[in-house]
């Protein structure tokens, strides 16, 4: 994710700094699951140190990496799912020893609703993450319309 520096400054805003400071640090070993596809999202994970990989599992059971998180990153999927009161469509795993703070969802949403600057900054984070995910999906699953068959003989060969 490209906005780590923006997120770090955002997290220093008094409203979020207080919430972050009141949340305990959770140590996760490399390979440990931070959240699992199908789990209800009730918190917003925030990486303090280490790296995490966000992935989905395809129909063949293969993991497809959507993006990586670095310290200071806010996971766009978590943000989206938390705001929707829904379940995770993907999973996260610690790539290295990682420290995570799980910000309480209801408290976070109350701050978001009362602070337009935070809402706007997190909307930018979400949009950036969505753009990254769409770019990766296009690379992994090219649209057959991107390589049209030009001649009638080639079209006939593909029927």
Domains of the chain: 4-139 (2.60.120.10)
Q: How much is the pLDDT for 103?
A: 93
CA separation for the pair 27, 74 (Å, rounded): 17
Q: How much is the pLDDT for 1?
A: 42
Is the distance from CB of 23 to CB of 101 less than 8 angstroms?
yes
Q: Which two tokens stand for residue 94?
A: 């610690």
CA separation for the pair 45, 61 (Å, rounded): 25
52 dihedral zone (left: phi>0; alpha: psi -120 to 50; beta): beta
pLDDT averaged over the chain? Answer: 82
Q: How much is the pLDDT for 99?
A: 94
∠ CA 110-116-121 to the nearest 5 degrees? 100
CA separation for the pair 45, 137 (Å, rounded): 23
Q: Mapping DSSP to helix (H, G, I), strand (E, B) and coil, where does residue 67 land? A: strand
Q: How much is the pLDDT for 125?
A: 67
Q: How much is the pLDDT for 5?
A: 45
pLDDT digits (tens, 9 = 90+) for 50-83: 999 999 988 888 998 988 999 988 888 898 899 8
Q: Mapping DSSP to helix (H, G, I), strand (E, B) and coil, where does residue 66 land? A: strand
CA separation for the pair 105, 113 (Å, rounded): 12
């Amino acid at each position: 994710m490209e906005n780590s520096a923006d997120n770090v400054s955002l997290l220093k805003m008094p409203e979020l700094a207080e919430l972050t400071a009141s949340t305990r640090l959770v140590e996760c070993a490399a390979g440990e699951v931070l959240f699992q596809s199908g789990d209800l999202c009730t918190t917003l994970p925030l990486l303090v140190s280490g790296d995490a990989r966000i992935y989905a599992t395809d129909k063949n059971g293969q993991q497809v990496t959507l993006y990586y998180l670095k310290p200071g990153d806010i996971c766009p999927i978590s943000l989206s799912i938390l705001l929707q009161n829904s379940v995770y469509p993907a999973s996260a795993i610690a790539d290295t020893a990682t420290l995570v703070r799980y910000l309480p969802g209801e408290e976070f949403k109350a701050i978001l609703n009362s602070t337009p600057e935070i809402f706007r900054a997190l909307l930018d984070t979400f949009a950036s993450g969505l753009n990254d995910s769409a770019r990766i999906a296009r690379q992994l699953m090219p649209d057959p319309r991107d390589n049209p068959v030009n001649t009638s003989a080639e079209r006939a060969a593909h029927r």
